[in-house]
Chain A
Amino acid sequence: MTKPRNDAAWLLVLPVVLVVAFSAIVPLMTVVNYSVQDTFGNNEFFWNGVEWFRELLDPSTELGRRFFDSLWRTLLFSAICLAIQIPLGIAVALSMPRRGFGVALCLVVMALPLLIPWNVVGTIWQVFARGDIGLLGSAVNRLGVPYNYAQDPLAAWVTVVAMDVWHWTSLVALLCYAGLRAIPDAYYQAARVDGASRWAVFRAIQLPKMQRVLTIAVLLRFMDSFMIYTEPFVVTGGGPGNATTFLSIDLVKIALGQFDLGKAAAFSIVYNLIILVLCWVFFATTTRGQSDAVQEGAR
């Protein structure tokens, strides 16, 4: 049977092309356009070549130092978030009930932080952690531990990390829970017959079966934490000093605070590329050797 050839199909793709063009391609190209120009306002632009990129990637310049400082800060933040949220999420998922009334209750409670708008999360923590009136902040201070996230960089970091853990660990837990629920009972029964300890069950059954959801969880959590903006902006505003100025906060300062559109555009493009490359590397390494398993699952 020959396939009918019909060029009308192109028309059907048109709406998607239009949407993608206006939502992604046009804004992206605008940024690329800015990144190679300089402006002094009045909508006057001057060709600047790759100078912004050169300055940005050279740590000896002011812009470059600023960029790399923020970059290490953001990487450290992502690393801490992953190091806490992934194990904690797995632990929570393992201790959630498997059947009964508790399941629904757990799921609802766990989903609550995920449903709160990000700036509201920031506001909640800004108040919650305040040393004078905040429930957490004043309690810690009363215990004799000096704690003020507006002045002490360490306290600011602890607050921002704690907030992110509170906000996003449920996502990891829910993903892991879904992975755990997909394990047939026979595996647990076989493990009992084989005399496996709790730890052996985790190592031999639960962790391997969660591998795919964990890949997704790590990817999501890495991207989100690496791009974090709203919550720390509301709580610390990037301070004290530049202690919690992450890439996104710095970017906004350059773009909207200083109105350096060219620098900001070059900054965003490099920022974007870093995320893309890291995600690709991560995805490629964790899914290597899984291709046969995927095929088997499709059978």
Chain B
Amino acid sequence: MARIAFERLAHAYAPGQPHALTTMDMVWEDAGAYALLGPSGCGKTTLLNIVSGLIRPSEGAVLFDGQDVTALPTERRNVAQVFQFPVVYDTMTVRENLAFPLRNRGLSAKEAAPRVERVAALLGLSAQLGRRARNLGADEKQKISLGRGLVRGDVAAILFDEPLTVIDPHLKWELRSRLKELHRQVPVTMIYVTHDQTEALTFADRVVVMAEGEVVQVGTPEELFERPAHTFVGHFIGSPGMNLLPCRVEGAEAVLPGDHRIPLGRPYPPVAGRTELGFRPEWVELTRGEGVPVVVRRIEDLGRRRIARVELGGVKLAATLPEGKPVPAEPRLALDPRRLHLYADGRLVAAEGAR
């Protein structure tokens, strides 16, 4: 178990090439459940491989419990890692596969047996223990990979690199809750890489959102939802993502396209760059009374709720249609000044006097 820290960490795959990871300082607390969330190619797997030591960062340091492990190879870091595609040792049985990491560290078959049994039971592999791994399906092979990650009792961290990609959807849900349960029983640092927001938000206590090699926000799922630090986070998390409306700020008022003025509730300092107002579809309702007039394009019925796709001055937005009410004849967007975020060049701008 370990607290993992990065100091001025950055990585480029070759000198002169653009950075796969831009400089970052970050701390992951011991026994935390973290998720690295971001689109493909954002550097999350690179960061994970730096933690496990499969990649040596070109700049900066990785610390486990304050000890610099940057130069240590994977074998000596005491981490477990599960990869995106199942890796099984074909010629071994399931039991031998699960025992492999333990046997390599000098445990006898007898000493390894109870742990192997426990992990197999946890993953539902008990019936297959005696079978040769080669003949199993992709689901089961990935369970073996997961099992080899979980079987070691003494690891500093367990790293998961999109481990459920190849797993059937119904099993995905079950395995994720098993992992969560395991984390509650055995407090070990778990880091879970995924591009699926549902996976990240349900698994992790804290989510690290990455985009283009940069960590754009670290926070609890609520923080990411309520207060996205970057328009990317607002857009990436939530379904549909956060609305972004270009605007101009004049003191405590925002001037929207079509010269509609709305109060911001609090004054903002002068902002430079591309200015946008961000608000989640969940925070705005389509009403008939107060608000900014919009044009309704279509209504999406998601079962649980209805989403109105609207347009304001050519900008496409999404809003919630209150339950049980028809689409108003002269629809207006009711913006709550307390739930508006202001972004300049993509980054959240704090209001004057706030924090």
B87 touching A192, Cβ below 8 Å: no
A205 touching B89, Cβ below 8 Å: yes
A186 touching B89, Cβ below 8 Å: no
B104 touching A186, Cβ below 8 Å: no
A190 touching B145, Cβ below 8 Å: yes
Q: Which residues of A contact B83 (CB under 8 A)?
A: 186, 189-190
The CA-CA distance from A296 to B134 in the complex, in Å, is 9
Residue of B nearest to A186 (CB): B83
Contact with A along B119-159 (1 / 0, CB 8 A): 00000000000000011000000000100110000000000
CB distance from A185 to the nearest CB of B (A): 9
- List which A180-217 residues lie within 8 A (CB) of chain B: 184, 186-187, 189-190, 192-197, 200, 204-205, 208-209
Q: Which residues of B contact A186 (CB under 8 A)?
A: 83-85, 87
Q: Size of chain B's interface in residues, with CB distance under 8 A?
A: 26
Q: Does B75 make an interface contact (CB < 8 A)?
A: yes
Q: Does A62 make an interface contact (CB < 8 A)?
A: no
A194 touching B85, Cβ below 8 Å: no
A192 touching B89, Cβ below 8 Å: no
- List which B6-40 residues lie within 8 A (CB) of chain A: none
B81 touching A193, Cβ below 8 Å: yes
B75 touching A293, Cβ below 8 Å: no
Q: Which residues of A contact B145 (CB under 8 A)?
A: 190
CB < 8 Å neighbour of B104 from A196, A205, A292? A196
CB < 8 Å neighbour of A208 from B89, B148, B149? B89
**When A184-B85, A190-B83 are in contact, do A195 and B91 touch as well, CB less than 8 Å?**
no
Q: Which residues of A contact B80 (CB under 8 A)?
A: 193
Q: Which residues of B contact A195 (CB under 8 A)?
A: 75, 101, 104-105
A193 touching B104, Cβ below 8 Å: no
CB distance from A128 to the nearest CB of B (A): 42
Q: Which residues of A contact B58 (CB under 8 A)?
A: none
B100 touching A196, Cβ below 8 Å: yes
- List which A269-299 residues lie within 8 A (CB) of chain B: 292-293, 296
Most chain A CB neighbours (cut-off 10 Å) among B49, B79, B89? B89
Residue of A nearest to B74 (CB): A192
B91 touching A194, Cβ below 8 Å: no
A192 touching B101, Cβ below 8 Å: no
A197 touching B104, Cβ below 8 Å: yes
Q: Which residues of A contact B84 (CB under 8 A)?
A: 186
A200 touching B91, Cβ below 8 Å: no
The CA-CA distance from A189 to B48 in the complex, in Å, is 12
The CA-CA distance from A296 to B73 in the complex, in Å, is 34
CB distance from A296 to the nearest CB of B (A): 8
**When A193-B81, A194-B104 are in contact, do A204 and B87 touch as well, CB less than 8 Å?**
no
The CA-CA distance from A194 to B73 in the complex, in Å, is 12
Residue contacts A-B, CB under 8 angstroms, 21 given? A184-B85, A189-B54, A189-B81, A190-B145, A192-B54, A192-B74, A193-B52, A193-B54, A193-B80, A193-B149, A194-B101, A194-B104, A197-B104, A200-B100, A204-B92, A208-B89, A208-B90, A209-B90, A292-B134, A293-B90, A293-B135
- Known pairs A189-B54, A189-B74, A204-B100. 18 more at Cβ < 8 A? A186-B84, A189-B49, A189-B83, A190-B145, A190-B148, A193-B81, A194-B100, A194-B104, A194-B148, A195-B104, A196-B100, A196-B104, A204-B89, A205-B89, A208-B90, A209-B90, A292-B134, A296-B135
